[in-house]
Each structure stands twice: as C-alpha cells, then as structure tokens.
Structure 1
C-alpha cells in the first residue's frame, strides 16, 4: 500500500536512509530521482537527477504513550513470541531497505492470453505480483463467481472455499484438484472453520458441517445475508445484514447448535467480527466498531474514528487493527483507563476491504491488506514497510493464511495459492 505518493511510483515505499542523511532542497540539483538509475543503467556523468531515493514523506499518524496492551492472550495465527511489539510508538516507523521499483504495475493483457511477443522486454508485468518475498505457487480453477470464503480446517488435508456462485468446493492440498462440490442454493457471504466444524454464512441462515461426524445443520434466525462469523467463549457469532450479531451454543446432549442470544446495537449491517482479549469486536456499515464483553455480552465501548464502513478487524498481540472504505487502517491500543484509542493511522489511496495477519518463513509478522483497486498490499509490521503487491482481475475479498502459504480469492472466482520465499532466496 502506498502512503500518498504518486500512483506511478508506489510499487514499494523505498524509505532508505533517514532525512538527516539527505542534503537540503537548496543544495539538490533536482528533487527528482533518475529513472535510468532506478533501472540500473544510467550512463550520464554528471547526471542532472538524483542517484538516490528522496526522504520519505511525513508519516500519517500519531504515536501515543504505551500503557500496556489489550491483553496478553489475544489469539493470533503464529507463535506469540514472534509478534511482540515493544510499544505503541513503534507502529509506522520506517527501516532502511532498498527494493527494486518496477516501471509499471499493469499486467500485460497479451501475457494473460499466453501470446505476448515482447517477452522480457515488455513494459507491462508478466506476473500477478510485485516483490521478492513470495511467489505464485498455483491457481485453482472452478468457481464461476467471486470467492467469498476460504478455510483450512484443522486436521484436514483439504482446503474449502465458498463462492457467490452458490457452491462450496473442497480441494486436495497435495494435488490441488477439486475433490468435492456442494450446491448450497444461495451465495456464500462468509465461511470459517473451528476444529472439524465448517460454518457457512448464507442469506437468512448459517449452514454447519462437521467433517468427522457428517453432521449437517441449518441455523435459522439471521435476517438477510450473513457477512461475518467468529467463534469465542464456546459460542458461534454471526454478523447479519440487519445489524444484529446472533450467537449459538453447541449442546452436547442433542449434538446440535442452539440459539444463545442476539446482540442488537448496530444501525446497519455487521460485516466484520473478531474475538480477542475476552472481547468480541464487531465492525459495521454504520462506521462503528462495538466492543462486547464475552462474559456478560454487554457493549462496553463504541469506536467511531472511521468515517466509512468498517470492512475488517484483526487482533494482533496487544493491538486491534481495523480497516475501512475511508482508505485507512487504524491501530488501536488500550489506554491507562482501559479504553481503546487510535495509536497510529495508516492512510491509503483506495478503500480497504480485508486484513489478514500471518508470519513469514523467518517468523516475521506480515499484514496483507486488500484494496478496492484490485490489489493486495503486503506489509512488514509494525513498520508498515511495503514488501510487495498482489494484483487481481477484480477485488480480493478473501485471504487465508496456511503453513508457509497463503490463499487469495477474487471477484472473478480465481483462487490463487502463494508461497513465502526464504529470506536468502528473496535477497538473491
């Protein structure tokens, strides 16, 4: 993601050395970086343009004091000791690193069709990504419309995906072949798994499947599309189109899920849910995030810093991250009186759709953020240094982490499998 630079120069934010190592504007020949130097082939001596990167723009966000975090028991997909940030002030701090800037970010149409005649000399991309930390492993073909859910149930050797084409597909993790398909009769709004259970959000119901016992149950109660689900404190929560958050609890005696409660404070649809620190967080089209105590199921705080739909929420270590169509990612931290407040804001040129956090092969924390310009930005955390970008034909609404892998699904139904590269290979 870029932080407000010109759109043609935002492949990577080449932050480089700090501002103190650059001469003032009065001593520079031109405040412009040499295009040929960037490409590694400038032969002008002297060259009227800079042979180094300009200092980074001022960071968009304010750093506040660290008072301790949300909690030490926030769940995260990876070892906790790798994702500990010293303080809230470390967010958004640049680190010196040089990355190759590509001359274009547009994928070659002829390369897509398999008949580009220019080969390596083509000025457009012959790849669906920019960056050297990851690469496309394979593409899984089958869905005819947008992929709206991806999950890897624990203990299973299959990947499951749901789509707006009304189907659930199972993919063999070894061969990449589709080994099963279920017609659900309506479009999938979201999908998650917990242990052997798969939960599928559909209009006006949640379908429950158990991969071990073959239990198939429909949970009624939602009004409109189910957009988001999460499991916490032995409850299944679902965010719905009418602004409600419904909860069900599993009954061992009947081997079924039974209604537990309904949380109804949002004015518009609930489109994102996450659990962490004994709290349930719900993001809504009403531009707010509500914080619910998991024990009492009472709303204990309403966060209203976003100015548009809160599309995705993520708990990470002692922090809460949220993204919105208002083109911002906000990092929240608990202050000295126990209330969440924004400690850093990262701004984008485009609206944000989905957040997914994971660890790379070196155990470094990485954030993937999909935007409504049909791209996914890949960031190091907590610096928000951009490692690279994934390009797609349409918006990517689903991202899922796996062991050394991650998966993206876009609006055309394309499902891509990406693998992380070792740092030594990426550097070479």
Structure 2
C-alpha cells in the first residue's frame, strides 16, 4: 500500500474526494478490486457537486460475489477493521450493512475496512461469541464428537482423517488417517463410531479396541444408537443394525432394514422409535420393539437431511427449503402441524434450551449460514456465517457448541447464558 505522508499525499487524499481537476474514474474500482487507499482516481461514475457528498462511496461499490470462498482467515482482519470483535459489530458503523459475509475480509485482505458494506464478523447477535477456530481438516467436516467424560474433542472429515483436539488448549494432539472418506461420526459411552465406505469403524477410546463392522453397501452417511442397538444408514438405502454384546465387548449383526430406495442420510432415535430420512425424499418410522416400519412420511419434496425429536414432536429438514414439525394424531400416526420455510435448502438441525429453559433451534442452510431460532415462534435471535456450508453441529458442556463447515474449519462458540442440551 502506497501512503505518502508529505503534501503530495494530502493532495492525493483531496483528489480522491473529488476536488481535483483529475476526473478520471479508477478502472480497478469499476472492476470491484481497487486496493489503493488513498486512490488518485475517482471511485464514482461522475463528479459530485460537493467534495464530501461521496464520503462513503467506496462502501457502495463492492461488487464481489459472496460465494466460493477459499483459504483460511486465522482470525485475520482487513485494514481499518481493528475495532471489530468476534460475534458482534465493532466500532461506530455508519455504513448500512448487508447480511452477507465479506469474502475479502474472510481471507484477510478487504481493502475497504469499516466502509465495506458486507459483514466483517462471523456472526450476527451478541449472545454466542466465537471462542476459537480449529484449523487442520482439508475438506468438509462430517462429524464432531465430544465423548462424555473425555477431555478430547474428535472431528472427522471427507479428507479421510480423524483429528483429536485437547479441549483445554485447543491444540490438535493427533491425526488418524482412516484410508477412506468419513460420512459421519458419533460417540456413545467410550465408543467412537465412524461411518465409512462399506464399513463402520468402532474405536473404544478407553481400551483402544479397534473394530471394523462390515455389511454396509457404499458410504455410511448416518449413525445412531438406540438402547443396545447401533444403526447405520447406507448408500444403497438399507439400515444395518448391530447389537452390542457386553460379554464380548463386540457388536453382533442383528438385522438389515430395507424400504428406502435411495441412500439413508439421517437417523434419529426417540420415543421408542427409529426415524430415517433418505435421498428418496421420505421419512420412515420404525418400531424399536420389532424393527418393523410402521409409517412412511412423504411430505418433503427433496432429500431429508436431518431429524431430531423434541418432546412429543419430530422435526425434519430438507433441501426443499423447509423445516417440518410433526405431531402424533389420536391414531398414533405422525402428521405435519407446521412448516417453516427458508430461502435455501436446510442441511442440519440441532436443539438446545437456553438459561431460561426456552428452546432454541440451530438451523444450517446451504447459503453458508446457520440460523438460531426461538421456538415455537421461529423468531430469529442470531445468525452464524461461514465460508462454506455448515454440515456439522455439536452441543458441548458449559454452554459450548461447535460448527464444522465445508472448508474443514471447526469453530467453537459459547453462549453468554448457558443453555442445556436437548435429549430425546
């Protein structure tokens, strides 16, 4: 950056404001990429009647596209944004902001600073500041697990690795190369369970026992545990079931549930039921007593990406841009009682209760945002922004929660007022 501190520099600043006889328009500015400050040429199409009428002109002409970001910001800020703080707006802003992340700021090189009309922060709302960012994965984060009683955080990715993080320092303490893309990751007791192509890996973090559960056909996209059963949703549309044998500390094959015609990408257990969402746009309800399908729900018109149970309700989300709330009728069947519409496809759901026991829904969309909604009103109380779509959400202890996005970044957030995790 060329800054002249003598009279020539002052003259250049005056020229930029439009009071010079040099009325040439900056062609870098027209292309949306001028990084000279001050710039000797005009940042507007025609001279203004007053030298100060265009004092915020640079903020109104950022023509950048806010998609397809690359690289890691590592908490860097662009010039002029030193007063910004994570999780809230910083300084006295006079520029009207759009609710879009500035991709130049995210990459650490926005030339407009506080004059930029795009957001220079990772969130909107002041009740969940960002604590830290964990860098290391090279592809989308497909699972985050924080086993009960452990001081380690585990993250998995399509980059074929499982990373182990120290919860106190945030440092990566180990990387396991798994030899295949990870479709999902969960923890249950001392077990870490990893969905991979054609198998499920089960790793006991207390005894270091490492098991491979064979049987799935194609990528395993979803895993869930119900009572003593482990369920795995596979690419061929089947759900493989294993029963944990306490005597042998092994997982014995128990059943294969069929009925979906395309990959099973979401599973949830609640109210003695297994719920499965599929790329065939349907949700199937299975009895845990006999593992029989008792209902098929077909109200979604695209892939059912995520499912959670909330009291007597089932919540589902889909790439059809909706979140649906289901409730049981007198006859016992589930029916839609409310449909919340988003502008973009919905990728993942997660729920918590805040300090006042009010329910809050975390809802990730494929426009690289995560919305936080008060329920049942769906009033938005904040938004989290990312370089790429957030595919993984995990609730931790003490008001912590974690998000993992398509760039491989994992971010750690903390509620200002501690919520409690919702359990089925």
Which protein shows a greater Rg? 2
Out of 404, 407, 410, the position equivalent to 2:402 is 407
Confirm whether residue 419 of structure 1 aligns to residue 414 of structure 2. yes
Paired residues, what number? 323
2:273 & 2:257 partners in 1: Cα distance? Answer: 13
Shift in Å, 1:117: 4.8
**1:193 alignment partner in structure 2:** 187
With normalisation by structure 1, the TM-score equals 0.73
Residue equivalent to 2:260: 266
Please give the TM-score of this superposition, normalised by the length of structure 2. Answer: 0.74
Partner-residue secondary structure (3-state), 1:212: coil
1:276 paired residue among 270, 275, 280: 270
Unaligned runs of 5+ in 1: 1-100, 424-428
Q: Give 3-state SS (helix, strand or coil) of 2:139's partner.
A: coil
Secondary structure (helix, strand or coil) at the match of 2:223 reads strand
Which residue of structure 1 lines up, in the alignment, with residue 231 of structure 2? 237
Residue 385 of structure 1 is matched in structure 2 by: 379
- 1:308 and 2:268 matched: no
Q: Deviations over 1:177-236 (max 9, x none)?
A: 001110000010001011111100000000000111111000000000000010002100
Distance, in Å, in 2 between the alignment partners of 1:325 and 1:298 is: 27
| 3-state secondary structure, aligned to 1:153 | coil
The one-character-per-residue Cα deviations of 1:76-115 (angstroms, maximum 9, x if unpaired) are xxxxxxxxxxxxxxxxxxxxxxxxx972122223422434
Q: Deviation at 1:381?
A: 1.0
Q: 1:174 aligns with which of 147, 153, 168?
A: 168
Gaps of 5+ in 2: 1-94, 419-424
CA shift for structure 1 position 286: 0.8
Deviations 1:237-283 (A, max 9, x none): 00000000000011223221110100011111100000000000001
Structure 1 residue 374 displacement after superposition = 1.1
- 1:120 is matched with 114
Q: Deviations over 1:380-416 (max 9, x none)?
A: 1111101111111111110111120111101110111
Between stretches 123-132 and 157-166, larger displacement belongs to 123-132
Q: Which of 307, 318, 339 is the matching residue for 1:345?
A: 339
Q: Counterpart of 2:293?
A: 299
Instruction: Tell me if structure 2 keeps the 8 A contact 1:361–1:421.
Output: no
Partner of 2:317: 323
Structure 2: how far apart are the matches of 1:382 and 1:239?
A: 30
What are the within-5 Å matches in structure 2 for residues 247-266 of structure 1?
A: 247-266=241-260
User: Can you list the C-alpha shifts for 1:143-165, whole angstroms capped at 9, x where unaligned?
Assistant: 01110000110010111000001
> Matches of 1:324 and 1:308 in 2, distance apart?
6
SS of 1:134 mapped into structure 2: coil
Distance 1:411 1:159 in 2: 19
